[in-house]
Structure 1
Protein backbone atom coordinates (compact mmCIF):
# COMPACT_ATOMS: atom_id res chain seq x y z
CA UNK A 1 0.00 0.00 0.00
CA UNK A 2 1.35 3.42 -0.98
CA UNK A 3 1.03 6.46 1.28
CA UNK A 4 -0.98 8.20 -1.43
CA UNK A 5 -3.68 5.56 -1.06
CA UNK A 6 -4.31 6.32 2.62
CA UNK A 7 -7.23 8.56 3.57
CA UNK A 8 -6.46 10.36 6.83
CA UNK A 9 -8.29 12.81 9.08
CA UNK A 10 -6.39 14.81 11.73
CA UNK A 11 -8.75 16.38 14.27
CA UNK A 12 -7.68 19.55 16.08
CA UNK A 13 -9.39 18.64 19.37
CA UNK A 14 -10.80 15.67 21.26
CA UNK A 15 -14.30 17.04 20.69
CA UNK A 16 -13.77 17.21 16.93
CA UNK A 17 -12.47 13.65 16.96
CA UNK A 18 -15.51 12.36 18.86
CA UNK A 19 -17.83 14.28 16.53
CA UNK A 20 -16.11 12.69 13.54
CA UNK A 21 -16.36 9.21 15.07
CA UNK A 22 -20.06 9.70 15.73
CA UNK A 23 -20.86 10.62 12.13
CA UNK A 24 -18.36 8.36 10.38
CA UNK A 25 -20.00 5.45 8.58
CA UNK A 26 -16.84 4.15 6.90
CA UNK A 27 -14.50 1.67 8.66
CA UNK A 28 -11.92 3.75 10.51
CA UNK A 29 -9.04 3.27 12.92
CA UNK A 30 -7.42 5.68 15.36
CA UNK A 31 -3.71 6.31 14.86
CA UNK A 32 -1.69 7.33 17.94
CA UNK A 33 2.08 6.76 17.85
CA UNK A 34 1.81 4.69 14.68
CA UNK A 35 4.56 2.22 15.61
CA UNK A 36 2.36 -0.79 14.75
CA UNK A 37 0.35 0.70 11.87
CA UNK A 38 2.71 0.16 8.92
CA UNK A 39 3.57 -3.39 10.02
CA UNK A 40 -0.11 -4.29 10.38
CA UNK A 41 -1.00 -2.73 7.03
CA UNK A 42 1.74 -4.73 5.29
CA UNK A 43 0.35 -7.86 6.92
CA UNK A 44 -3.11 -6.95 5.64
CA UNK A 45 -4.53 -6.87 9.19
CA UNK A 46 -5.34 -3.17 9.43
CA UNK A 47 -6.93 -1.78 6.26
CA UNK A 48 -9.50 0.82 7.35
CA UNK A 49 -11.10 3.17 4.86
CA UNK A 50 -9.80 6.09 6.90
CA UNK A 51 -7.16 6.67 9.56
CA UNK A 52 -7.90 9.16 12.34
CA UNK A 53 -4.59 10.70 13.37
CA UNK A 54 -4.76 11.95 17.00
CA UNK A 55 -1.00 12.31 17.48
CA UNK A 56 -1.19 16.09 17.92
CA UNK A 57 -3.96 16.10 20.54
CA UNK A 58 -1.75 17.18 23.45
CA UNK A 59 -4.77 17.26 25.77
CA UNK A 60 -4.46 13.47 25.83
CA UNK A 61 -0.81 13.49 26.96
CA UNK A 62 -0.42 13.80 30.74
CA UNK A 63 0.50 12.03 33.98
CA UNK A 64 -1.10 13.39 37.16
CA UNK A 65 -2.09 12.24 40.63
CA UNK A 66 -5.75 12.73 41.55
CA UNK A 67 -7.94 11.59 44.44
CA UNK A 68 -8.98 8.35 42.75
CA UNK A 69 -5.57 7.35 41.40
CA UNK A 70 -2.90 8.25 38.87
CA UNK A 71 -4.35 9.46 35.59
CA UNK A 72 -2.39 8.80 32.40
CA UNK A 73 -3.40 10.22 29.03
CA UNK A 74 -3.56 7.72 26.15
CA UNK A 75 -1.04 9.74 24.11
CA UNK A 76 1.53 9.54 26.90
CA UNK A 77 4.65 7.98 25.38
CA UNK A 78 6.68 5.20 26.93
CA UNK A 79 9.51 7.69 27.32
CA UNK A 80 7.18 9.98 29.28
CA UNK A 81 6.38 7.07 31.59
CA UNK A 82 10.03 6.10 32.08
CA UNK A 83 10.98 9.69 32.96
CA UNK A 84 8.03 10.35 35.29
CA UNK A 85 9.15 10.72 38.92
CA UNK A 86 5.57 10.10 40.06
CA UNK A 87 5.43 6.75 38.26
CA UNK A 88 8.95 5.82 39.36
CA UNK A 89 7.73 6.19 42.95
CA UNK A 90 4.13 4.97 42.66
CA UNK A 91 4.07 2.58 39.66
CA UNK A 92 7.54 1.07 39.28
CA UNK A 93 6.17 -1.98 37.45
CA UNK A 94 4.76 0.21 34.67
CA UNK A 95 8.05 2.11 34.36
CA UNK A 96 9.87 -1.20 34.05
CA UNK A 97 7.49 -2.38 31.35
CA UNK A 98 7.85 0.83 29.32
CA UNK A 99 11.64 0.47 29.43
CA UNK A 100 11.26 -2.90 27.69
CA UNK A 101 8.95 -1.78 24.86
CA UNK A 102 11.81 -1.62 22.36
CA UNK A 103 14.51 0.72 21.16
CA UNK A 104 14.52 4.37 22.28
CA UNK A 105 12.89 5.45 19.02
CA UNK A 106 9.92 3.16 19.69
CA UNK A 107 9.66 4.36 23.26
CA UNK A 108 9.60 7.96 22.01
CA UNK A 109 6.84 7.29 19.48
CA UNK A 110 4.79 4.52 21.05
CA UNK A 111 1.95 5.43 23.40
CA UNK A 112 0.24 3.65 26.26
CA UNK A 113 -3.13 4.16 24.59
CA UNK A 114 -1.81 2.63 21.39
CA UNK A 115 -0.58 -0.40 23.35
CA UNK A 116 -4.08 -0.85 24.77
CA UNK A 117 -5.82 -0.27 21.45
CA UNK A 118 -3.62 -2.76 19.62
CA UNK A 119 -4.66 -5.33 22.23
CA UNK A 120 -1.78 -7.68 21.53
CA UNK A 121 -1.34 -10.48 24.11
CA UNK A 122 2.38 -9.64 23.91
CA UNK A 123 1.95 -5.91 24.69
CA UNK A 124 4.53 -5.07 27.34
CA UNK A 125 2.65 -2.42 29.32
CA UNK A 126 -0.61 -4.39 29.51
CA UNK A 127 0.39 -6.93 32.24
CA UNK A 128 1.70 -4.02 34.30
CA UNK A 129 -1.64 -2.25 33.96
CA UNK A 130 -3.38 -5.43 35.10
CA UNK A 131 -1.46 -5.60 38.39
CA UNK A 132 -2.08 -1.88 38.93
CA UNK A 133 -5.86 -2.41 38.64
CA UNK A 134 -6.13 -0.03 35.69
CA UNK A 135 -9.45 1.48 34.64
CA UNK A 136 -9.92 2.44 30.98
CA UNK A 137 -12.06 5.48 30.19
CA UNK A 138 -13.84 5.23 26.85
CA UNK A 139 -15.50 8.35 25.44
CA UNK A 140 -18.01 8.84 22.66
CA UNK A 141 -19.60 12.12 21.59
CA UNK A 142 -22.52 11.66 24.00
CA UNK A 143 -21.13 9.76 26.97
CA UNK A 144 -18.19 8.30 28.88
CA UNK A 145 -17.81 4.91 30.49
CA UNK A 146 -15.05 3.37 32.60
CA UNK A 147 -14.12 -0.29 32.07
CA UNK A 148 -11.85 -2.38 34.36
CA UNK A 149 -8.87 -3.60 32.41
CA UNK A 150 -9.71 -7.25 33.10
CA UNK A 151 -12.96 -6.70 31.13
CA UNK A 152 -11.51 -4.49 28.39
CA UNK A 153 -9.90 -7.22 26.25
CA UNK A 154 -12.12 -9.79 24.56
CA UNK A 155 -9.49 -11.65 22.51
CA UNK A 156 -6.29 -11.16 20.50
CA UNK A 157 -6.53 -7.69 18.95
CA UNK A 158 -10.09 -7.25 20.26
CA UNK A 159 -11.52 -4.97 22.95
CA UNK A 160 -14.85 -3.64 24.20
CA UNK A 161 -14.15 -0.30 22.50
CA UNK A 162 -16.97 0.64 20.10
CA UNK A 163 -16.48 2.19 16.67
CA UNK A 164 -17.61 5.62 17.91
CA UNK A 165 -15.40 5.53 21.03
CA UNK A 166 -11.80 6.40 21.85
CA UNK A 167 -9.63 5.89 24.93
CA UNK A 168 -9.44 9.23 26.77
CA UNK A 169 -7.94 8.28 30.13
CA UNK A 170 -6.21 5.46 32.01
CA UNK A 171 -6.47 5.38 35.81
CA UNK A 172 -4.14 3.19 37.87
CA UNK A 173 -3.85 2.36 41.55
CA UNK A 174 -0.73 4.04 43.02
CA UNK A 175 1.58 1.74 44.93
CA UNK A 176 1.86 2.33 48.68
CA UNK A 177 5.17 2.50 50.55
CA UNK A 178 5.06 -1.24 51.26
CA UNK A 179 4.31 -2.22 47.66
CA UNK A 180 6.95 -3.14 45.10
CA UNK A 181 6.67 -4.28 41.51
CA UNK A 182 8.74 -5.61 38.66
CA UNK A 183 8.37 -6.49 34.98
CA UNK A 184 10.27 -9.35 33.40
CA UNK A 185 10.43 -10.12 29.70
CA UNK A 186 11.89 -12.74 27.41
CA UNK A 187 12.37 -11.70 23.79
CA UNK A 188 14.40 -13.01 20.85
CA UNK A 189 16.66 -9.95 20.92
CA UNK A 190 17.67 -7.41 23.56
CA UNK A 191 15.98 -4.50 21.77
CA UNK A 192 13.02 -4.02 19.44
CA UNK A 193 11.72 -7.50 20.29
CA UNK A 194 8.19 -8.79 20.68
CA UNK A 195 7.81 -10.69 23.94
CA UNK A 196 7.96 -14.46 23.82
CA UNK A 197 6.76 -14.35 27.44
CA UNK A 198 6.44 -11.48 29.90
CA UNK A 199 5.22 -11.13 33.47
CA UNK A 200 4.31 -8.24 35.77
CA UNK A 201 4.43 -8.73 39.55
CA UNK A 202 3.19 -6.42 42.30
CA UNK A 203 3.62 -7.34 45.98
CA UNK A 204 2.28 -5.81 49.20
CA UNK A 205 4.82 -6.57 51.90
CA UNK A 206 4.36 -6.93 55.67
CA UNK A 207 6.53 -5.99 58.63
CA UNK A 208 8.09 -9.42 59.15
CA UNK A 209 11.06 -10.58 57.03
CA UNK A 210 9.93 -11.39 53.47
CA UNK A 211 6.29 -11.43 54.60
CA UNK A 212 3.94 -10.92 51.65
CA UNK A 213 0.44 -9.79 52.57
CA UNK A 214 -0.96 -9.82 49.04
CA UNK A 215 0.19 -9.80 45.44
CA UNK A 216 -0.80 -9.75 41.81
CA UNK A 217 0.83 -11.63 38.91
CA UNK A 218 -0.07 -11.12 35.24
CA UNK A 219 1.46 -13.01 32.30
CA UNK A 220 1.57 -11.79 28.71
CA UNK A 221 2.10 -13.72 25.46
CA UNK A 222 0.98 -17.02 26.99
CA UNK A 223 -2.73 -16.91 26.11
CA UNK A 224 -5.31 -15.16 23.93
CA UNK A 225 -5.26 -12.24 26.39
CA UNK A 226 -3.36 -11.39 29.57
CA UNK A 227 -3.57 -14.15 32.20
CA UNK A 228 -3.79 -13.39 35.92
CA UNK A 229 -2.07 -16.18 37.83
CA UNK A 230 -4.64 -16.62 40.61
CA UNK A 231 -3.17 -19.82 42.05
CA UNK A 232 0.31 -18.32 42.31
CA UNK A 233 -1.15 -15.15 43.83
CA UNK A 234 -2.79 -17.17 46.63
CA UNK A 235 0.52 -18.88 47.38
CA UNK A 236 2.32 -15.55 47.89
CA UNK A 237 0.89 -15.04 51.39
CA UNK A 238 1.26 -18.61 52.70
CA UNK A 239 4.62 -17.90 54.33
CA UNK A 240 7.88 -15.97 53.97
CA UNK A 241 9.06 -15.64 50.38
CA UNK A 242 12.21 -17.67 50.94
CA UNK A 243 13.93 -19.83 48.33
CA UNK A 244 11.58 -22.79 48.76
CA UNK A 245 8.44 -20.65 48.56
CA UNK A 246 9.64 -18.82 45.46
CA UNK A 247 10.46 -22.08 43.69
CA UNK A 248 7.08 -23.59 44.66
CA UNK A 249 5.18 -20.53 43.42
CA UNK A 250 7.05 -20.29 40.14
CA UNK A 251 6.68 -24.04 39.62
CA UNK A 252 2.91 -23.69 39.77
CA UNK A 253 2.79 -21.06 37.04
CA UNK A 254 2.98 -23.51 34.12
CA UNK A 255 -0.46 -24.90 35.07
CA UNK A 256 -2.14 -21.51 34.63
CA UNK A 257 -0.70 -20.25 31.34
CA UNK A 258 -2.21 -21.29 28.01
CA UNK A 259 0.46 -20.65 25.36
CA UNK A 260 0.45 -21.66 21.73
CA UNK A 261 3.31 -22.63 19.47
CA UNK A 262 4.25 -20.15 16.75
CA UNK A 263 7.30 -19.00 14.79
CA UNK A 264 8.82 -17.39 17.91
CA UNK A 265 8.53 -20.26 20.40
CA UNK A 266 6.83 -23.54 21.19
CA UNK A 267 4.08 -23.82 23.79
CA UNK A 268 6.30 -26.05 25.95
CA UNK A 269 9.12 -23.50 25.89
CA UNK A 270 6.74 -20.68 26.81
CA UNK A 271 5.42 -22.65 29.79
CA UNK A 272 8.95 -23.24 31.05
CA UNK A 273 9.93 -19.61 30.56
CA UNK A 274 6.80 -18.35 32.32
CA UNK A 275 7.91 -20.22 35.44
CA UNK A 276 11.51 -19.06 35.03
CA UNK A 277 10.57 -15.39 34.61
CA UNK A 278 8.29 -15.50 37.65
CA UNK A 279 11.05 -17.07 39.72
CA UNK A 280 13.60 -14.47 38.57
CA UNK A 281 11.18 -11.62 39.25
CA UNK A 282 10.37 -12.81 42.77
CA UNK A 283 14.05 -13.26 43.61
CA UNK A 284 14.84 -9.76 42.36
CA UNK A 285 11.94 -8.25 44.31
CA UNK A 286 13.05 -9.94 47.52
CA UNK A 287 16.60 -8.71 47.01
CA UNK A 288 15.30 -5.17 46.61
CA UNK A 289 13.07 -5.50 49.67
CA UNK A 290 15.89 -6.95 51.81
CA UNK A 291 18.09 -3.98 50.88
CA UNK A 292 15.56 -1.37 52.03
Structure 2
Protein backbone atom coordinates (compact mmCIF):
# COMPACT_ATOMS: atom_id res chain seq x y z
CA UNK A 1 0.00 0.00 0.00
CA UNK A 2 1.37 3.40 -1.02
CA UNK A 3 1.19 6.37 1.32
CA UNK A 4 -0.99 8.13 -1.27
CA UNK A 5 -3.52 5.29 -0.97
CA UNK A 6 -4.02 5.76 2.78
CA UNK A 7 -7.17 7.67 3.75
CA UNK A 8 -6.45 9.51 7.00
CA UNK A 9 -8.39 12.03 9.02
CA UNK A 10 -7.18 14.02 12.02
CA UNK A 11 -9.91 14.96 14.50
CA UNK A 12 -9.36 18.04 16.64
CA UNK A 13 -11.25 16.76 19.69
CA UNK A 14 -12.31 13.56 21.38
CA UNK A 15 -15.97 14.15 20.48
CA UNK A 16 -15.05 14.57 16.82
CA UNK A 17 -13.06 11.33 16.96
CA UNK A 18 -15.97 9.43 18.52
CA UNK A 19 -18.29 10.84 15.86
CA UNK A 20 -16.02 9.45 13.16
CA UNK A 21 -15.90 6.05 14.87
CA UNK A 22 -19.71 5.97 15.00
CA UNK A 23 -20.07 6.23 11.23
CA UNK A 24 -21.20 2.95 9.72
CA UNK A 25 -20.13 1.46 6.43
CA UNK A 26 -16.40 2.13 6.75
CA UNK A 27 -13.72 0.28 8.65
CA UNK A 28 -11.71 2.60 10.91
CA UNK A 29 -8.52 2.15 12.88
CA UNK A 30 -6.93 4.60 15.29
CA UNK A 31 -3.29 5.61 15.00
CA UNK A 32 -1.19 7.57 17.50
CA UNK A 33 2.51 6.73 17.81
CA UNK A 34 2.28 4.39 14.82
CA UNK A 35 5.02 2.06 16.09
CA UNK A 36 2.80 -1.02 15.70
CA UNK A 37 0.84 0.25 12.68
CA UNK A 38 3.94 0.62 10.50
CA UNK A 39 4.94 -2.98 11.14
CA UNK A 40 1.44 -4.36 10.54
CA UNK A 41 1.06 -2.48 7.25
CA UNK A 42 4.38 -3.83 6.00
CA UNK A 43 3.07 -7.31 6.84
CA UNK A 44 -0.02 -6.67 4.73
CA UNK A 45 -2.27 -6.40 7.77
CA UNK A 46 -4.25 -3.55 9.31
CA UNK A 47 -5.73 -2.17 6.09
CA UNK A 48 -8.75 -0.13 7.21
CA UNK A 49 -10.77 2.15 4.94
CA UNK A 50 -9.74 5.11 7.09
CA UNK A 51 -7.01 5.79 9.62
CA UNK A 52 -8.00 8.19 12.40
CA UNK A 53 -4.93 10.07 13.62
CA UNK A 54 -5.41 10.90 17.32
CA UNK A 55 -1.84 11.91 18.10
CA UNK A 56 -2.76 15.54 18.77
CA UNK A 57 -5.65 14.90 21.18
CA UNK A 58 -3.84 16.40 24.18
CA UNK A 59 -6.86 15.69 26.41
CA UNK A 60 -5.89 11.99 26.25
CA UNK A 61 -2.29 12.48 27.40
CA UNK A 62 -1.92 12.78 31.17
CA UNK A 63 -0.90 11.04 34.41
CA UNK A 64 -2.77 12.10 37.55
CA UNK A 65 -3.95 10.70 40.86
CA UNK A 66 -7.34 10.54 42.55
CA UNK A 67 -8.20 9.17 45.96
CA UNK A 68 -8.24 5.52 44.88
CA UNK A 69 -6.55 5.31 41.47
CA UNK A 70 -3.83 6.62 39.21
CA UNK A 71 -5.38 7.82 35.94
CA UNK A 72 -3.35 7.51 32.73
CA UNK A 73 -4.47 8.85 29.37
CA UNK A 74 -4.14 6.42 26.44
CA UNK A 75 -1.89 8.83 24.52
CA UNK A 76 0.62 8.92 27.37
CA UNK A 77 3.95 7.81 25.91
CA UNK A 78 6.37 5.34 27.43
CA UNK A 79 8.77 8.23 27.99
CA UNK A 80 6.05 10.12 29.89
CA UNK A 81 5.68 7.13 32.21
CA UNK A 82 9.41 6.67 32.68
CA UNK A 83 9.77 10.32 33.69
CA UNK A 84 6.67 10.49 35.92
CA UNK A 85 7.54 11.04 39.63
CA UNK A 86 4.07 9.75 40.54
CA UNK A 87 4.58 6.43 38.76
CA UNK A 88 8.13 6.14 40.05
CA UNK A 89 6.75 6.34 43.61
CA UNK A 90 3.53 4.37 43.26
CA UNK A 91 3.81 2.13 40.19
CA UNK A 92 7.49 1.30 39.81
CA UNK A 93 6.77 -1.95 37.95
CA UNK A 94 5.09 0.01 35.14
CA UNK A 95 8.03 2.41 34.90
CA UNK A 96 10.45 -0.51 34.60
CA UNK A 97 8.31 -2.10 31.89
CA UNK A 98 8.14 1.16 29.92
CA UNK A 99 11.96 1.35 29.98
CA UNK A 100 12.09 -1.98 28.13
CA UNK A 101 9.86 -0.92 25.23
CA UNK A 102 12.43 -0.77 22.43
CA UNK A 103 14.82 2.08 21.85
CA UNK A 104 14.43 5.71 22.96
CA UNK A 105 12.71 6.74 19.71
CA UNK A 106 10.04 4.07 20.21
CA UNK A 107 9.56 5.10 23.84
CA UNK A 108 9.08 8.71 22.70
CA UNK A 109 6.46 7.79 20.10
CA UNK A 110 4.72 4.68 21.40
CA UNK A 111 1.67 5.11 23.65
CA UNK A 112 0.28 2.99 26.45
CA UNK A 113 -3.12 2.91 24.75
CA UNK A 114 -1.56 1.58 21.58
CA UNK A 115 0.34 -1.09 23.49
CA UNK A 116 -2.88 -2.25 25.12
CA UNK A 117 -5.03 -2.16 21.98
CA UNK A 118 -2.47 -4.11 19.96
CA UNK A 119 -3.02 -6.93 22.47
CA UNK A 120 0.26 -8.69 21.76
CA UNK A 121 1.11 -11.52 24.20
CA UNK A 122 4.63 -10.04 24.19
CA UNK A 123 3.58 -6.46 25.00
CA UNK A 124 5.97 -5.23 27.66
CA UNK A 125 3.64 -2.91 29.58
CA UNK A 126 0.81 -5.45 29.73
CA UNK A 127 2.10 -7.74 32.54
CA UNK A 128 2.76 -4.64 34.65
CA UNK A 129 -0.79 -3.42 34.06
CA UNK A 130 -2.14 -6.84 35.02
CA UNK A 131 -0.39 -6.86 38.41
CA UNK A 132 -1.50 -3.27 39.03
CA UNK A 133 -5.14 -4.28 38.57
CA UNK A 134 -5.65 -2.03 35.55
CA UNK A 135 -9.15 -1.04 34.52
CA UNK A 136 -9.88 0.35 31.05
CA UNK A 137 -12.47 3.00 30.24
CA UNK A 138 -13.97 2.30 26.80
CA UNK A 139 -15.98 5.11 25.24
CA UNK A 140 -18.28 5.43 22.24
CA UNK A 141 -20.32 8.42 21.13
CA UNK A 142 -23.30 7.22 23.19
CA UNK A 143 -21.88 4.97 25.89
CA UNK A 144 -19.02 4.47 28.36
CA UNK A 145 -17.98 1.31 30.19
CA UNK A 146 -15.07 0.26 32.42
CA UNK A 147 -13.68 -3.29 32.43
CA UNK A 148 -10.62 -5.07 33.87
CA UNK A 149 -7.74 -5.43 31.45
CA UNK A 150 -7.92 -9.21 31.89
CA UNK A 151 -11.39 -9.14 30.31
CA UNK A 152 -10.35 -6.74 27.56
CA UNK A 153 -7.76 -8.94 25.83
CA UNK A 154 -9.21 -12.20 24.51
CA UNK A 155 -6.35 -13.54 22.36
CA UNK A 156 -3.35 -12.49 20.26
CA UNK A 157 -4.39 -9.18 18.68
CA UNK A 158 -7.99 -9.66 19.82
CA UNK A 159 -9.97 -7.53 22.27
CA UNK A 160 -13.57 -6.82 23.21
CA UNK A 161 -13.27 -3.27 21.85
CA UNK A 162 -16.23 -2.47 19.58
CA UNK A 163 -15.75 -0.72 16.24
CA UNK A 164 -17.30 2.48 17.59
CA UNK A 165 -15.27 2.49 20.82
CA UNK A 166 -11.83 3.65 21.90
CA UNK A 167 -9.78 3.45 25.09
CA UNK A 168 -10.15 6.81 26.86
CA UNK A 169 -8.59 6.09 30.26
CA UNK A 170 -6.42 3.55 32.08
CA UNK A 171 -6.95 3.23 35.83
CA UNK A 172 -4.37 1.48 38.00
CA UNK A 173 -4.20 0.84 41.72
CA UNK A 174 -1.20 2.59 43.30
CA UNK A 175 1.23 0.40 45.18
CA UNK A 176 0.94 0.58 48.93
CA UNK A 177 3.71 2.33 50.91
CA UNK A 178 5.16 -1.10 51.67
CA UNK A 179 4.74 -2.25 48.07
CA UNK A 180 7.53 -2.99 45.62
CA UNK A 181 7.58 -4.19 42.02
CA UNK A 182 9.89 -5.32 39.25
CA UNK A 183 9.74 -6.15 35.54
CA UNK A 184 12.04 -8.75 33.95
CA UNK A 185 12.42 -9.39 30.22
CA UNK A 186 14.31 -11.81 28.03
CA UNK A 187 14.78 -10.75 24.41
CA UNK A 188 17.14 -11.68 21.58
CA UNK A 189 18.80 -8.26 21.79
CA UNK A 190 19.03 -5.61 24.49
CA UNK A 191 17.09 -2.97 22.55
CA UNK A 192 14.24 -3.03 20.04
CA UNK A 193 13.52 -6.68 20.77
CA UNK A 194 10.26 -8.55 21.12
CA UNK A 195 10.13 -10.40 24.41
CA UNK A 196 10.78 -14.14 24.36
CA UNK A 197 9.47 -14.13 27.93
CA UNK A 198 8.65 -11.31 30.31
CA UNK A 199 7.29 -11.14 33.85
CA UNK A 200 5.95 -8.46 36.18
CA UNK A 201 5.97 -8.95 39.95
CA UNK A 202 4.30 -6.78 42.57
CA UNK A 203 4.71 -7.55 46.28
CA UNK A 204 3.38 -6.04 49.49
CA UNK A 205 5.83 -6.70 52.31
CA UNK A 206 5.82 -6.54 56.11
CA UNK A 207 8.75 -5.31 58.17
CA UNK A 208 10.69 -8.54 57.65
CA UNK A 209 10.87 -10.66 54.50
CA UNK A 210 7.27 -11.81 54.62
CA UNK A 211 5.04 -11.09 51.66
CA UNK A 212 1.47 -10.26 52.69
CA UNK A 213 0.18 -10.04 49.12
CA UNK A 214 1.73 -10.69 45.72
CA UNK A 215 0.84 -10.65 42.05
CA UNK A 216 2.74 -12.18 39.13
CA UNK A 217 1.97 -11.87 35.41
CA UNK A 218 3.83 -13.45 32.48
CA UNK A 219 3.96 -12.40 28.84
CA UNK A 220 4.93 -14.41 25.74
CA UNK A 221 4.04 -17.71 27.40
CA UNK A 222 0.36 -18.05 26.41
CA UNK A 223 -2.14 -16.59 23.90
CA UNK A 224 -2.67 -13.70 26.34
CA UNK A 225 -0.88 -12.33 29.39
CA UNK A 226 -1.45 -14.77 32.26
CA UNK A 227 -1.58 -14.31 36.00
CA UNK A 228 0.48 -17.01 37.72
CA UNK A 229 -2.05 -17.61 40.47
CA UNK A 230 -0.47 -20.81 41.81
CA UNK A 231 2.82 -18.99 42.22
CA UNK A 232 1.02 -16.04 43.80
CA UNK A 233 -0.61 -18.29 46.39
CA UNK A 234 2.84 -19.48 47.50
CA UNK A 235 4.23 -15.98 48.06
CA UNK A 236 2.50 -15.64 51.43
CA UNK A 237 3.41 -19.08 52.79
CA UNK A 238 6.31 -17.81 54.85
CA UNK A 239 9.59 -15.96 54.81
CA UNK A 240 10.66 -15.30 51.22
CA UNK A 241 13.95 -17.13 51.60
CA UNK A 242 15.98 -19.04 49.04
CA UNK A 243 14.04 -22.30 49.46
CA UNK A 244 10.62 -20.73 49.02
CA UNK A 245 11.70 -18.62 46.05
CA UNK A 246 13.14 -21.67 44.28
CA UNK A 247 9.95 -23.65 44.93
CA UNK A 248 7.82 -20.83 43.51
CA UNK A 249 10.02 -20.74 40.42
CA UNK A 250 9.51 -24.48 39.90
CA UNK A 251 5.74 -24.01 39.93
CA UNK A 252 6.09 -21.29 37.28
CA UNK A 253 7.63 -23.86 34.90
CA UNK A 254 4.37 -25.83 35.10
CA UNK A 255 1.99 -22.88 35.15
CA UNK A 256 2.98 -21.12 31.92
CA UNK A 257 1.65 -22.42 28.58
CA UNK A 258 4.09 -21.36 25.85
CA UNK A 259 4.36 -22.50 22.25
CA UNK A 260 7.39 -23.03 20.05
CA UNK A 261 7.96 -20.48 17.30
CA UNK A 262 10.80 -18.94 15.33
CA UNK A 263 12.15 -17.12 18.37
CA UNK A 264 12.18 -19.91 20.98
CA UNK A 265 10.95 -23.40 21.83
CA UNK A 266 8.23 -24.00 24.38
CA UNK A 267 10.68 -25.76 26.71
CA UNK A 268 13.14 -22.86 26.54
CA UNK A 269 10.34 -20.41 27.37
CA UNK A 270 9.31 -22.50 30.37
CA UNK A 271 12.90 -22.59 31.60
CA UNK A 272 13.28 -18.83 31.15
CA UNK A 273 9.94 -18.03 32.78
CA UNK A 274 11.08 -19.95 35.86
CA UNK A 275 14.51 -18.30 35.82
CA UNK A 276 13.16 -14.76 35.33
CA UNK A 277 10.70 -15.17 38.19
CA UNK A 278 13.41 -16.52 40.51
CA UNK A 279 15.81 -13.72 39.61
CA UNK A 280 13.08 -11.11 39.95
CA UNK A 281 12.11 -12.28 43.43
CA UNK A 282 15.73 -12.30 44.59
CA UNK A 283 16.20 -8.77 43.28
CA UNK A 284 13.02 -7.57 44.97
CA UNK A 285 14.06 -8.99 48.33
CA UNK A 286 17.50 -7.38 48.08
CA UNK A 287 15.88 -4.07 47.13
CA UNK A 288 13.48 -4.31 50.06
CA UNK A 289 16.27 -5.04 52.53
CA UNK A 290 18.34 -2.10 51.23
CA UNK A 291 15.58 0.47 51.58
Please give the range of the TM-score, normalised by the shorter of the 2 chains: over 0.9
1:9 aligns with 2:9: yes
Residue in 1 that maps onto 2:136: 136
Structure 2 unmatched ranges of 5 or more:
none
Question: 1:100: how far off?
Answer: 0.2
Q: Which residue of 2 aligns with 1:265?
A: 264
Structure-1 separation of matches of 2:8 and 2:24: 13
With the length of structure 1 as denominator, give the TM-score of the two structures: 0.99
What is the CA–CA distance in structure 2 between the aligned matches of 1:137 and 1:288, rounded to whole Å? 34
SS of 2:26's equivalent in the other structure is coil
Residues 205-248 of structure 1: CA deviation (Å, up to 9, x unaligned): 012x2100110000001000001000000000001011111111
SS at match of 2:283: helix
Find the counterpart in structure 2 of residue 168 from structure 1.
Answer: 168
Unaligned runs of 5+ in 1: none
* Equivalent in the alignment of 2:218: 219
Query: Which 4+ runs in 1 deviate beyond 6 A?
Result: none
Residue 251 of structure 1, CA deviation: 1.0
Q: Which residue of 2 aligns with 1:283?
A: 282
Match of 1:126 in 2: 126
Structure 2 residue matching 1:52: 3-state secondary structure: strand
Distance 1:269 1:82 in 2: 30
Secondary structure in structure 1 of the residue aligned to 2:202: strand
For 1:252, the equivalent position in structure 2 comes to 251
Q: Per-residue deviation at 1:48?
A: 0.9
Q: Give the superposition deviation at 1:49.
A: 1.1
* Aligned residue runs from structure 1 range 75-154, under 5 A: 75-154=75-154
Report how far residue 25 of structure 1 moved.
Answer: 2.1
| Partners of 1:112 and 1:75 in 2: CA distance | 7
Displacement of 1:68: 2.8
Counting only pairs closer than 5 Å after superposition, residues 183-198 of structure 1 correspond to structure 2 as: 183-198=183-198
Paired residue secondary structure (2:35): coil
- Structure 1 distance, partners of 2:116, 2:81, is 15
1:34 is aligned to 34
Aligned residues: 291
How far does residue 24 in structure 1 lie from its aligned partner after superposition? 3.8
Q: Return the alpha-carbon distance in structure 1 between the equivalents of residues 144 and 167 of structure 2.
A: 10
Note the C-alpha offset of 1:117.
0.6
Q: Secondary structure at the match of 1:261?
A: coil
What's the C-alpha RMSD, in Å, of the aligned pairs? Answer: 0.7
In the TM superposition, residue 101 of structure 1 has moved relative to its aligned partner by: 0.3
TM-superposition CA deviations, 1:167-216 (whole Å, max 9, x none): 00000000111100000000000000000000000001012x21001100
- Secondary structure class of the residue paired with 1:146: strand
| TM-score of the two chains, using structure 2 as the length reference | 0.99
Q: Distance in 2 between matches of 1:280 and 1:177?
A: 23
